[in-house]
Structure 1
Amino acid sequence: MKKIISPLFRGITEMELEQMNTAGYLRQKEYEKNEIIYHMDTKVDEIGILLTGSVNIINTDFLGNSTILSNISAGGVFAETYALVKEPLLVEVVTAENSQILFLNIRRIMEDSSCNQSDWYRKLIDNLLQISMRKNLTLSTRIFCTTPKNIRGRLLTYLTAEYRKQGTSTFEIPFNRQQLADYLNVDRSALSKELGKMKEEGILDFHKNVFRLSQQI
């Protein structure tokens, strides 16, 4: 099986991937944009790995209001915690564009005692731990972004974090305006209005989802 570029398979060889595939632990599926991969309140046994495309992790409340918790791009992993702890999903996983996804049945692997004799098993568990730690950092970032009381504060917190992560004052974000508003938990119209004000004041410039921060930030 061809080597897969993902932190979940770091250090795992093509031969080891083929062993996992032959054992029936892997399957692959293609999805169109805005297709639901995992529904809220369902239990899952498989971890999803993005081969191409991207997905949004979305929380929807009782009244139908949706909030994007995170966006996952190619190589990223989702649903690993739910698959391991056997708890119903509190979120939905929805494609943000046409996507190709590889599923790893982690429950079967954990329940198959012969797996822990394989070289790839230790690598896989180590990689899962690293991914979990990084996602904790991502969750902390979103908490930081929604802590400021006003829209400008939330925008500056988020955009500054993206600037630091990408290492350049001009960068692309993974959200359109509605998705960004959902992520920051603000009204879309108010968000667009505030962005317009910040552009007029020379704080930033933007075109669609590409932003450029001023040196005064």
Structure 2
Amino acid sequence: MEKIISPLLRGLNEKELQDMMDIHFSRKQTYEKNAIIFSAGSIIHEIGIVLSGSVNIENNDLWGNKSILSNVPAGQVFAETYAFSHEPMMVDAVAAEDCTILFLDFNMLMDNPLENRTWQNKIIKNMLNVSMQKNLALSSRIFCTSSKTIRGRLLTYLSSQSMKAGSTTFDIPFNRQQLADYLNTDRSALSNELGKMRDDGLIEFYKNTFRLKAVPQALS
């Protein structure tokens, strides 16, 4: 089985990973960009791990308004809360680009003690850490959308991405429409504000690459 770098599978060896496949606890599937992996309203029993590409977690209301709640890059996990709770999904999991997903059967993990399967307890322990990281990511988005102004939201988001990258030059995982959806604002207004911020000497950008040129005194 190919080597997978994921916090959920930390500490597992190749033999354990292969055993997961052999007993049908895990399976792989590929998706094209914009394909629906899990849809709102579904009751699921599998956790998804992104092996390649990335996945967006989206909320779409009855009026057709879309909001991107998070981007799940390669190695990270999605849908674990719904797989655990067996509650209908309130969001869509959508392929942000061509991607390959490794699915783990959560029912098998939690409901059936697997004799001599050392990987079972490892995954359960890793799940706690993954859940904590997801809570931090959700808190980050709340911070990014709390400002009343588009500039405030952009500065908060770009500052967080800069700190995450450890550099004032960094790439973001969203195109302009996706960034507008993530920050819960209009794309045209967001693009206009980015232009103003560039003219004010705060940032430089080209497509998904940004550079912070000045540290703002306030984020609102």
Measured against the shorter chain, the TM-score band is over 0.9
Question: CA separation in 2, counterparts of 1:187 and 1:199?
Answer: 18
What amino acid is aligned across from residue 68 of structure 1 in structure 2? Answer: I
The corresponding residue for 2:38 is 38
Indicate the SS of the match to 1:67.
strand
Would the aligned equivalents of 1:28 and 1:100 in 2 still touch at CA under 8 Å? yes
Q: Displacement of 1:2 after TM fit?
A: 3.1
Q: Deviations over 1:49-75 (max 9, x none)?
A: 111100100001121111000001111
Question: CA separation in 2, counterparts of 1:32 and 1:54?
Answer: 11
The corresponding residue for 2:207 is 208
How do residues 70-149 of structure 1 correspond to structure 2 at under 5 angstroms? 70-114=70-114, 118-149=117-148
Could you state the TM-score of these two structures normalised by the residue count of structure 2? 0.96
Q: Displacement of 1:208 after TM fit?
A: 0.7
Could you state the TM-score of these two structures normalised by the residue count of structure 1? 0.97
Question: CA separation in 2, counterparts of 1:48 and 1:180?
Answer: 23
Indicate the SS of the match to 1:114.
coil
The corresponding residue for 2:20 is 20
Indicate the SS of the match to 1:27.
strand
The corresponding residue for 1:181 is 180
Q: Deviations over 1:4-35 (max 9, x none)?
A: 11111000111111111111101111110110
| Structure 1 runs not aligned, ≥5 long | none
Question: CA separation in 1, counterparts of 2:103 and 2:47?
Answer: 6
Indicate the SS of the match to 1:124.
helix
Would the aligned equivalents of 1:26 and 1:102 in 2 still touch at CA under 8 Å? yes
Question: CA separation in 1, counterparts of 2:146 and 2:55?
Answer: 25
Question: CA separation in 2, counterparts of 1:11 and 1:190?
Answer: 46
Would the aligned equivalents of 1:47 and 1:83 in 2 still touch at CA under 8 Å? yes
CA RMSD of aligned residues (A): 1.0
User: How many pairs does the alignment contain?
Assistant: 216
Question: CA separation in 1, counterparts of 2:118 and 2:138?
Answer: 31
What amino acid is aligned across from residue 85 of structure 1 in structure 2? Answer: S
Question: CA separation in 2, counterparts of 1:27 and 1:114?
Answer: 18
Question: CA separation in 2, counterparts of 1:216 and 1:113?
Answer: 53
Q: Displacement of 1:119 after TM fit?
A: 1.6
How do residues 40-55 of structure 1 correspond to structure 2 at under 5 angstroms? 40-55=40-55
| Structure 2 runs not aligned, ≥5 long | none
Would the aligned equivalents of 2:203 and 2:214 in 1 still touch at CA under 8 Å? no
Runs (4+) of structure 1 exceeding 3 A deviation are: none
